[in-house]
Amino acid sequence: MATVSHGTEQGGRTRVLVIDDHPIVREGLVQIICREPDLTVCAQASNAAEALHALRASCPDVVILDLTLNGSSGLGLLKDIRARWANLPVLVLSMHNEMLYAERVLRAGAQGYIMKQEGPEELVTAIRRVLAGRVYLSEAMTHRLLQHIARGDSSDGQSPLDRLTDREFEVFEMIGQGLGTRAIAERLHLSVKTIESHRESTKAKLGLENGHELTLCAIRWAHDETMNAPRRERGGAET
């Protein structure tokens, strides 16, 4: 169940909604945020349904969203939030490599992307930046985007996975988690035929011959994502 705080006990502080499916992570975020005299956590949620309830019930000023949620897609939830609360700033907090995910979440409507490996001070900096109407990214990611703009060619140096649509990428992730076509369809509330279509287009874009190669590629990628946490310079930059 979502945890929502009501009333005036929060003293006019900026209200933060935390969405993450790990209770220990949520508790850590609550402690970091509530140490700040002008910030408070008004609600917590572990999945999309709880998050939408908390959004309606708690009226947050900013949302911190994990991309990986049990039974739902953080990217899909981000798009849903943007459609319903167009002006609500969302900061994505994730363990996933920002070089692959940051551009996707910005296109989907987030105001920032921060890795879970960052320290508490940087998280607070990111929250304040998106609350001020600016974009938060790491220095490395900002440099990459600016290079693309300067070259006028956003495809230069692009990973093959960058060519996937958001939905194709979600399906690819779930294949890497060991889910079959029917399980993916149920989780995304789509038909089996639609998932099969996404699988076929993903195979074509990645240059894979068959479903077995797609499964191996997805599992290998998921393993690498888990084992090789990205190491990058600390600090954030605004764009």
pLDDT at 166: 86
CATH no., domain 160-227 = 1.10.10.10
13 has pLDDT over 50: yes
pLDDT digits (tens, 9 = 90+) for 88-124: 999 999 887 777 788 888 989 999 999 888 899 999 9
Domain boundaries along the sequence of the chain: 3-148+234-238, 160-227
Pick the CATH number of 3-148+234-238 from 3.40.50.2300, 3.10.690.10, 1.10.3720.10, 3.80.30.10: 3.40.50.2300
| Shared fold status for 3-148+234-238 and 160-227 | no
Q: What is the mean pLDDT of residues 205-221?
A: 90
pLDDT digits (tens, 9 = 90+) for 69-89: 877 778 889 999 999 999 999
CA separation (Å) from 236 to 3, 106, 114, 127, 163? Answer: 30, 15, 8, 11, 26
Nearest by Cα to 173 from 213, 221, 116, 101: 221
